[in-house]
Chain A
Amino acid sequence: MHLKLSKNTEKDMSKNTELISKSLEKRHRSEKRFRFFGILGIGTAVIFLITILSSIFVEGKGAFKSTFIQLEINFDQEIIDPNKTNNPEEFKFANYKLLINDALKNYFPEVKDRKTFRDLSVFISSAAEQNLMKLAMENIEIIGESKKIWLLASSTIDVIHKNPQMENFLEEDRLINNIQMSWFNALKKNGDIKFGLNTNFLSNADSTEPEQAGILGSMLGSFFTLLVTLLLCFPVAVASGVFLEELAPKNKFTDFIEININNLAAVPSIIFGLLGLAIFLNVMHLPRSAPIVGGMVLALMTLPTIIISTRASLKAVPPSIREAAIGLGATKFQAVTHHVIPQSMPGILTGTIIGMSQALGESAPLLMIGMVAFIVDIPGSLTDSATVLPVQIYLWKSTAARGFVELTAAGIMVLLTFLVIMNSVAVFVRQKFEKKW
Chain B
Amino acid sequence: MANSLNVMIVGVGGQGTLLASRLLGSAMIQSGYDVKVSEVHGMSQRGGSVVTYVKAGENVCSPTIEKGEADIILSFEQLEAARWLPYLKKGGKIIVNTQSIDPMPVVIGAAKYPEDVLCAIGNTGVEIISMDALKLALEAGSAKATNVVLLGAMAKYTGIDYEIFENAVKETVPAKFLDMNLQALKLGYEA
- Whether both chains belong to one complex is answered with no
